[in-house]
Protein backbone atom coordinates (compact mmCIF):
# COMPACT_ATOMS: atom_id res chain seq x y z
CA UNK A 1 0.00 0.00 0.00
CA UNK A 2 1.21 3.51 -0.89
CA UNK A 3 2.28 5.71 1.99
CA UNK A 4 1.26 9.35 1.69
CA UNK A 5 2.28 12.67 3.10
CA UNK A 6 -1.39 13.52 3.71
CA UNK A 7 -2.06 17.17 2.89
CA UNK A 8 -4.68 19.17 4.78
CA UNK A 9 -6.38 22.20 3.22
CA UNK A 10 -8.22 24.41 5.70
CA UNK A 11 -11.20 26.30 4.41
CA UNK A 12 -12.64 28.95 6.72
CA UNK A 13 -15.75 31.01 6.17
CA UNK A 14 -17.62 28.27 4.37
CA UNK A 15 -20.71 30.05 3.12
CA UNK A 16 -23.90 28.87 1.54
CA UNK A 17 -23.72 30.67 -1.77
CA UNK A 18 -21.76 29.31 -4.68
CA UNK A 19 -18.24 30.57 -4.29
CA UNK A 20 -14.75 29.88 -5.59
CA UNK A 21 -12.51 28.21 -3.00
CA UNK A 22 -8.87 28.33 -4.18
CA UNK A 23 -8.01 25.78 -1.46
CA UNK A 24 -9.90 23.17 -3.52
CA UNK A 25 -7.72 23.55 -6.65
CA UNK A 26 -5.07 21.06 -5.55
CA UNK A 27 -7.68 18.67 -4.08
CA UNK A 28 -9.64 18.57 -7.32
CA UNK A 29 -6.48 18.11 -9.41
CA UNK A 30 -5.52 15.13 -7.24
CA UNK A 31 -9.03 13.68 -7.58
CA UNK A 32 -8.81 14.00 -11.36
CA UNK A 33 -5.43 12.25 -11.19
CA UNK A 34 -7.09 9.28 -9.49
CA UNK A 35 -6.30 9.96 -5.84
CA UNK A 36 -8.70 9.62 -2.88
CA UNK A 37 -9.43 12.84 -0.97
CA UNK A 38 -11.51 13.33 2.19
CA UNK A 39 -14.00 16.20 2.26
CA UNK A 40 -16.84 17.41 4.48
CA UNK A 41 -20.51 16.82 3.69
CA UNK A 42 -23.50 17.90 5.78
CA UNK A 43 -23.66 14.41 7.36
CA UNK A 44 -20.11 13.09 7.94
CA UNK A 45 -16.76 13.42 6.15
CA UNK A 46 -16.55 11.37 2.96
CA UNK A 47 -13.52 9.80 1.26
CA UNK A 48 -14.01 10.62 -2.41
CA UNK A 49 -12.56 9.26 -5.64
CA UNK A 50 -13.50 9.31 -9.33
CA UNK A 51 -16.53 7.00 -9.60
CA UNK A 52 -15.71 6.28 -13.25
CA UNK A 53 -12.24 4.88 -12.51
CA UNK A 54 -11.66 1.43 -11.01
CA UNK A 55 -8.10 2.29 -10.01
CA UNK A 56 -9.24 5.42 -8.16
CA UNK A 57 -12.07 3.63 -6.36
CA UNK A 58 -9.74 0.82 -5.29
CA UNK A 59 -7.71 3.42 -3.37
CA UNK A 60 -10.78 4.05 -1.19
CA UNK A 61 -11.20 0.39 -0.31
CA UNK A 62 -7.48 0.09 0.45
CA UNK A 63 -7.27 3.18 2.66
CA UNK A 64 -10.39 2.24 4.65
CA UNK A 65 -9.72 -1.48 4.84
CA UNK A 66 -13.27 -1.85 3.53
CA UNK A 67 -14.71 -5.23 2.46
CA UNK A 68 -15.01 -5.23 -1.35
CA UNK A 69 -18.64 -6.47 -1.26
CA UNK A 70 -19.81 -3.20 0.32
CA UNK A 71 -20.90 -0.69 -2.38
CA UNK A 72 -20.19 3.06 -2.28
CA UNK A 73 -22.50 6.05 -2.66
CA UNK A 74 -21.93 8.26 -5.72
CA UNK A 75 -22.01 12.01 -4.99
CA UNK A 76 -23.18 14.50 -7.60
CA UNK A 77 -23.63 18.28 -7.66
CA UNK A 78 -26.72 18.65 -9.84
CA UNK A 79 -29.78 16.54 -10.65
CA UNK A 80 -28.88 16.29 -14.35
CA UNK A 81 -25.89 14.12 -13.45
CA UNK A 82 -28.26 11.32 -12.40
CA UNK A 83 -29.21 10.65 -16.01
CA UNK A 84 -25.66 9.60 -16.90
CA UNK A 85 -25.61 7.10 -14.05
CA UNK A 86 -29.01 5.37 -13.96
CA UNK A 87 -31.22 3.43 -16.38
CA UNK A 88 -34.50 4.92 -15.18
CA UNK A 89 -35.89 7.36 -12.62
CA UNK A 90 -39.07 6.15 -10.91
CA UNK A 91 -41.68 8.88 -10.49
CA UNK A 92 -41.44 8.76 -6.69
CA UNK A 93 -37.69 9.12 -6.93
CA UNK A 94 -38.10 12.32 -8.93
CA UNK A 95 -40.40 13.74 -6.26
CA UNK A 96 -37.91 12.81 -3.54
CA UNK A 97 -35.00 14.40 -5.40
CA UNK A 98 -37.01 17.60 -5.81
CA UNK A 99 -37.94 17.61 -2.14
CA UNK A 100 -34.69 16.55 -0.44
CA UNK A 101 -31.70 17.23 -2.72
CA UNK A 102 -29.28 18.61 -1.89
CA UNK A 103 -29.57 16.78 1.42
CA UNK A 104 -28.96 13.61 3.45
CA UNK A 105 -30.92 11.20 1.24
CA UNK A 106 -29.27 8.48 -0.86
CA UNK A 107 -31.48 6.89 -3.50
CA UNK A 108 -30.83 3.41 -4.91
CA UNK A 109 -31.43 3.29 -8.69
CA UNK A 110 -30.96 0.67 -11.40
CA UNK A 111 -27.44 1.45 -12.60
CA UNK A 112 -26.15 2.25 -16.07
CA UNK A 113 -22.84 1.04 -17.49
CA UNK A 114 -19.81 3.27 -17.00
CA UNK A 115 -19.70 3.38 -13.23
CA UNK A 116 -16.64 1.50 -11.97
CA UNK A 117 -17.69 -2.05 -11.00
CA UNK A 118 -15.95 -1.63 -7.61
CA UNK A 119 -18.34 1.23 -6.72
CA UNK A 120 -21.40 -0.98 -6.81
CA UNK A 121 -19.67 -4.14 -5.56
CA UNK A 122 -21.07 -6.05 -8.52
CA UNK A 123 -24.71 -5.07 -7.81
CA UNK A 124 -27.03 -3.99 -10.62
CA UNK A 125 -28.02 -0.90 -8.62
CA UNK A 126 -26.24 2.28 -7.57
CA UNK A 127 -26.74 4.64 -4.61
CA UNK A 128 -26.63 8.36 -5.46
CA UNK A 129 -26.90 11.52 -3.43
CA UNK A 130 -26.38 15.27 -3.72
CA UNK A 131 -24.75 16.49 -0.49
CA UNK A 132 -25.92 19.74 1.06
CA UNK A 133 -22.52 21.22 1.76
CA UNK A 134 -20.95 24.10 -0.19
CA UNK A 135 -17.46 22.55 -0.15
CA UNK A 136 -18.64 19.12 -1.25
CA UNK A 137 -20.63 20.67 -4.08
CA UNK A 138 -17.77 22.97 -5.09
CA UNK A 139 -15.32 20.06 -5.12
CA UNK A 140 -17.58 17.86 -7.26
CA UNK A 141 -18.10 20.74 -9.71
CA UNK A 142 -14.38 21.52 -9.84
CA UNK A 143 -13.55 17.92 -10.76
CA UNK A 144 -16.42 17.61 -13.22
CA UNK A 145 -16.76 14.02 -12.00
CA UNK A 146 -19.22 11.95 -9.98
CA UNK A 147 -17.36 11.12 -6.75
CA UNK A 148 -17.77 7.75 -5.07
CA UNK A 149 -17.48 8.41 -1.34
CA UNK A 150 -18.02 6.28 1.74
CA UNK A 151 -17.58 7.78 5.20
CA UNK A 152 -13.90 8.67 5.71
CA UNK A 153 -13.21 6.37 8.67
CA UNK A 154 -11.23 3.14 8.92
CA UNK A 155 -13.75 0.38 8.32
CA UNK A 156 -15.66 -0.49 11.53
CA UNK A 157 -14.86 2.73 13.42
CA UNK A 158 -17.32 5.57 14.12
CA UNK A 159 -17.74 7.87 11.12
CA UNK A 160 -15.76 11.14 11.16
CA UNK A 161 -17.53 14.41 11.86
CA UNK A 162 -14.35 16.52 11.93
CA UNK A 163 -11.14 16.62 9.88
CA UNK A 164 -9.26 15.58 13.04
CA UNK A 165 -11.30 12.33 13.13
CA UNK A 166 -10.27 11.66 9.51
CA UNK A 167 -6.60 12.28 10.37
CA UNK A 168 -6.88 9.88 13.32
CA UNK A 169 -7.95 7.10 10.97
CA UNK A 170 -6.39 7.82 7.57
CA UNK A 171 -3.24 9.89 8.10
CA UNK A 172 -0.58 8.60 5.67
CA UNK A 173 -3.12 6.47 3.81
CA UNK A 174 -4.71 9.15 1.58
CA UNK A 175 -3.45 12.07 -0.50
CA UNK A 176 -5.36 14.79 1.31
CA UNK A 177 -8.15 16.12 3.54
CA UNK A 178 -10.29 19.20 2.94
CA UNK A 179 -10.96 20.60 6.42
CA UNK A 180 -14.21 22.54 6.44
CA UNK A 181 -14.92 22.28 10.18
CA UNK A 182 -17.43 20.05 11.95
CA UNK A 183 -20.27 18.53 9.90
CA UNK A 184 -23.87 19.47 10.69
CA UNK A 185 -26.17 16.44 10.76
CA UNK A 186 -23.69 14.06 12.35
CA UNK A 187 -25.19 10.75 11.18
CA UNK A 188 -25.06 9.49 7.60
CA UNK A 189 -27.67 9.90 4.90
CA UNK A 190 -30.84 7.84 4.79
CA UNK A 191 -30.44 5.07 2.18
CA UNK A 192 -33.74 4.51 0.36
CA UNK A 193 -34.31 1.86 -2.30
CA UNK A 194 -36.58 3.44 -4.92
CA UNK A 195 -36.44 0.40 -7.20
CA UNK A 196 -39.07 -1.03 -4.82
CA UNK A 197 -42.63 0.24 -4.36
CA UNK A 198 -43.27 1.27 -1.65
CA UNK A 199 -39.70 2.55 -1.39
CA UNK A 200 -37.72 0.86 1.38
CA UNK A 201 -35.36 2.40 3.94
CA UNK A 202 -32.17 0.30 3.98
CA UNK A 203 -30.40 2.60 6.46
CA UNK A 204 -32.15 5.26 8.58
CA UNK A 205 -30.37 8.62 8.50
CA UNK A 206 -30.59 12.37 8.22
CA UNK A 207 -33.94 12.44 6.39
CA UNK A 208 -36.60 10.91 8.62
CA UNK A 209 -39.19 8.30 7.61
CA UNK A 210 -41.89 10.78 8.61
CA UNK A 211 -40.49 13.39 6.20
CA UNK A 212 -40.22 10.87 3.34
CA UNK A 213 -43.81 9.75 3.86
CA UNK A 214 -45.08 13.31 3.62
CA UNK A 215 -43.74 13.36 0.05
CA UNK A 216 -44.39 9.83 -1.29
CA UNK A 217 -46.81 8.18 1.11
CA UNK A 218 -46.04 4.81 2.60
CA UNK A 219 -42.36 3.93 3.06
CA UNK A 220 -41.20 0.47 4.18
CA UNK A 221 -38.24 -0.28 6.44
CA UNK A 222 -35.84 -3.18 5.86
CA UNK A 223 -36.52 -5.46 8.89
CA UNK A 224 -32.77 -5.84 9.38
CA UNK A 225 -32.60 -2.14 10.28
CA UNK A 226 -34.47 -2.51 13.52
CA UNK A 227 -31.86 -4.79 14.89
CA UNK A 228 -33.12 -8.37 15.20
CA UNK A 229 -29.97 -9.59 13.64
CA UNK A 230 -30.76 -12.83 11.77
CA UNK A 231 -32.25 -10.98 8.81
CA UNK A 232 -29.84 -10.42 5.93
CA UNK A 233 -29.82 -6.64 5.34
CA UNK A 234 -30.37 -5.31 1.82
CA UNK A 235 -27.67 -2.68 2.21
CA UNK A 236 -24.55 -4.87 2.21
CA UNK A 237 -22.76 -2.48 4.58
CA UNK A 238 -25.39 -2.92 7.28
CA UNK A 239 -24.25 -6.46 8.04
CA UNK A 240 -20.83 -5.39 9.27
CA UNK A 241 -19.84 -4.37 12.77
CA UNK A 242 -19.77 -0.62 12.60
CA UNK A 243 -19.36 2.66 14.42
CA UNK A 244 -17.82 0.73 17.28
CA UNK A 245 -15.47 1.90 20.01
CA UNK A 246 -12.86 -0.60 21.17
CA UNK A 247 -14.60 -1.21 24.51
CA UNK A 248 -17.37 -3.71 25.14
CA UNK A 249 -20.58 -1.72 24.78
CA UNK A 250 -24.22 -2.21 25.79
CA UNK A 251 -27.22 0.02 25.24
CA UNK A 252 -29.56 0.33 28.20
CA UNK A 253 -33.29 0.48 27.66
CA UNK A 254 -36.01 1.27 30.20
CA UNK A 255 -39.48 2.86 30.06
CA UNK A 256 -38.36 6.26 31.38
CA UNK A 257 -35.19 8.31 31.50
CA UNK A 258 -35.16 8.02 35.30
CA UNK A 259 -35.41 4.23 35.09
CA UNK A 260 -32.58 4.20 32.52
CA UNK A 261 -30.19 6.19 34.65
CA UNK A 262 -31.05 4.07 37.71
CA UNK A 263 -30.39 0.88 35.73
CA UNK A 264 -27.06 2.19 34.45
CA UNK A 265 -25.96 3.13 37.98
CA UNK A 266 -26.97 -0.32 39.22
CA UNK A 267 -25.09 -2.08 36.41
CA UNK A 268 -21.93 -0.11 37.07
CA UNK A 269 -22.07 -1.24 40.70
CA UNK A 270 -22.58 -4.86 39.61
CA UNK A 271 -19.69 -4.74 37.16
CA UNK A 272 -17.36 -3.42 39.85
CA UNK A 273 -18.50 -6.01 42.40
CA UNK A 274 -18.05 -8.94 40.04
CA UNK A 275 -14.53 -7.77 39.21
CA UNK A 276 -13.86 -7.41 42.91
CA UNK A 277 -14.91 -11.05 43.40
CA UNK A 278 -12.63 -12.25 40.61
CA UNK A 279 -9.61 -10.52 42.07
CA UNK A 280 -10.15 -11.59 45.70
CA UNK A 281 -6.67 -13.01 46.09
CA UNK A 282 -4.70 -11.02 43.58
CA UNK A 283 -4.30 -7.30 43.26
CA UNK A 284 -7.55 -5.43 42.63
CA UNK A 285 -7.98 -4.64 38.95
CA UNK A 286 -9.85 -1.48 37.99
CA UNK A 287 -12.28 -1.64 35.10
CA UNK A 288 -12.55 1.68 33.33
CA UNK A 289 -16.29 2.23 32.87
CA UNK A 290 -17.81 4.87 30.60
CA UNK A 291 -21.36 6.10 30.12
CA UNK A 292 -22.86 7.70 27.03
CA UNK A 293 -25.14 10.34 28.52
CA UNK A 294 -26.89 13.61 27.78
CA UNK A 295 -26.69 17.11 29.27
CA UNK A 296 -29.82 16.31 31.30
CA UNK A 297 -28.48 13.06 32.80
CA UNK A 298 -24.70 13.42 33.09
CA UNK A 299 -24.78 14.49 36.75
CA UNK A 300 -26.37 11.12 37.64
CA UNK A 301 -23.10 9.32 36.94
CA UNK A 302 -20.69 11.70 38.69
CA UNK A 303 -18.46 9.73 41.04
CA UNK A 304 -19.93 6.46 39.72
CA UNK A 305 -18.63 6.14 36.17
CA UNK A 306 -14.96 6.74 35.36
CA UNK A 307 -15.81 8.72 32.26
CA UNK A 308 -19.02 10.29 30.97
CA UNK A 309 -19.39 11.30 27.32
CA UNK A 310 -22.19 13.77 26.64
CA UNK A 311 -23.53 13.47 23.10
CA UNK A 312 -26.23 16.18 23.24
CA UNK A 313 -29.54 17.18 24.78
CA UNK A 314 -32.58 14.92 25.11
CA UNK A 315 -34.74 17.93 24.22
CA UNK A 316 -33.04 18.16 20.84
CA UNK A 317 -32.37 14.79 19.15
CA UNK A 318 -30.59 16.61 16.31
CA UNK A 319 -27.93 17.66 18.82
CA UNK A 320 -27.52 14.01 19.87
CA UNK A 321 -27.04 12.98 16.22
CA UNK A 322 -24.47 15.75 15.78
CA UNK A 323 -22.45 14.76 18.85
CA UNK A 324 -22.82 10.98 18.67
CA UNK A 325 -19.69 9.90 16.78
CA UNK A 326 -17.38 12.30 18.58
CA UNK A 327 -18.68 10.92 21.89
CA UNK A 328 -18.14 7.32 20.71
CA UNK A 329 -14.60 8.15 19.58
CA UNK A 330 -13.82 9.81 22.91
CA UNK A 331 -14.23 6.47 24.72
CA UNK A 332 -11.21 5.16 22.82
CA UNK A 333 -9.19 8.27 23.64
CA UNK A 334 -10.03 7.76 27.32
CA UNK A 335 -9.21 4.04 27.04
CA UNK A 336 -12.59 3.10 28.44
CA UNK A 337 -13.08 -0.70 28.63
CA UNK A 338 -16.81 -1.03 29.30
CA UNK A 339 -19.52 1.32 28.00
CA UNK A 340 -23.16 1.67 28.98
CA UNK A 341 -25.16 3.87 26.61
CA UNK A 342 -28.49 5.56 27.25
CA UNK A 343 -31.25 4.90 24.70
CA UNK A 344 -33.38 7.40 22.78
CA UNK A 345 -36.88 7.46 21.30
CA UNK A 346 -36.88 6.05 17.75
CA UNK A 347 -39.02 8.81 16.25
CA UNK A 348 -37.52 11.27 13.74
CA UNK A 349 -33.73 11.21 13.64
CA UNK A 350 -33.89 8.99 16.77
CA UNK A 351 -34.31 6.01 14.40
CA UNK A 352 -30.85 6.68 12.95
CA UNK A 353 -29.34 7.35 16.38
CA UNK A 354 -30.59 4.05 17.82
CA UNK A 355 -29.61 2.12 14.67
CA UNK A 356 -26.02 3.39 15.03
CA UNK A 357 -25.91 2.81 18.80
CA UNK A 358 -27.21 -0.74 18.44
CA UNK A 359 -24.61 -1.48 15.79
CA UNK A 360 -21.84 0.06 17.88
CA UNK A 361 -22.95 -2.22 20.73
CA UNK A 362 -23.14 -5.29 18.48
CA UNK A 363 -26.87 -5.36 19.39
CA UNK A 364 -26.20 -6.00 23.09
CA UNK A 365 -29.05 -4.51 25.11
CA UNK A 366 -29.69 -4.40 28.85
CA UNK A 367 -33.45 -4.11 29.50
CA UNK A 368 -35.19 -3.22 32.72
Asked whether position 150 contacts ligand TXA by CB under 6 A, the answer is yes
The smaller minimum CB distance to ligand TXA, of residues 34 and 110, is found at 110
Q: What is the DSSP letter of 301?
A: G
Phi, psi (degrees; rounded to nearest 5) at 323: -95, -5
How far is the C-alpha of 360 from the C-alpha of 353, rounded, in Å? 11
Nearer to Mg ion, 67 or 110 (CB): 67
Q: In the complex, what is the shortest distance from the CB of residue 148 to ligand TXA, in angstroms, rounded to a whole number?
A: 9
Q: Which of 11, 36, 37, 46 binds ligand TXA (CB under 6 A)?
A: 46
The residue among 333, 366, 285, 364 whose CA lies nearest residue 164 is: 333
- Among 28, 50, 120, 330, which residue sits at the site for ligand TXA (rule: CB under 6 A)? 120
Residue 97 or residue 289: which is nearer to ligand TXA going by CB?
A: 97
Binders in 151-190 for ligand TXA, by CB under 6 A? 151, 188-189
Does residue number 151 form part of the binding site for Mg ion (CB under 5 A)? yes
75 is in an annotated binding site: yes
**Which of 127, 199, 312, 350 is close enough to bind ligand TXA by CB under 6 A?**
127
Provide DSSP, 222-267: -GGGGS-TTS--SSGGGGS--S--SSEEEEEE-SSHHHHHHHHHHH
Residue 236: alpha-carbon gap to chain centroid: 15
Report how far residue 310's alpha carbon sits from residue 277's, in angstroms, rounded to the nearest whole number: 31
In degrees, to the nearest 5, what angle opens at C-alpha 345 toward C-alphas 340 and 348? 130
Asked if 190 contacts 22 with a C-beta cutoff of 8 angstroms, the reply is no
Q: Is 70 in the site for ligand TXA (CB under 6 A)?
A: yes
Q: According to the binding rule CB under 6 A, does residue 94 interact with ligand TXA?
A: no
Chain contacts with Mg ion (rule: CB under 5 A): 151
Residues in contact with ligand TXA by CB under 6 A are 41, 43-44, 46, 70-73, 104, 106, 108, 120, 123, 125-127, 131, 149-151, 188-189, 191, 202-203, 234-238
Amino acid sequence: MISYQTKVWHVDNVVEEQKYYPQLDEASALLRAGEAIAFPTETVYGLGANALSSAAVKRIFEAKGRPSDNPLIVHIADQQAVHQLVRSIPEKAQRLMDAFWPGPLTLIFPKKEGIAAEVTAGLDSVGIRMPDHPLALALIRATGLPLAAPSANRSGRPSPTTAAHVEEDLQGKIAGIVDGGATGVGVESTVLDVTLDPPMILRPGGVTKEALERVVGKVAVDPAVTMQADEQPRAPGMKYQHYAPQAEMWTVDAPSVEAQTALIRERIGQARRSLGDESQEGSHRELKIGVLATTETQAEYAGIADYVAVCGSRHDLASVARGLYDALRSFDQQQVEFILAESFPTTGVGAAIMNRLNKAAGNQVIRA
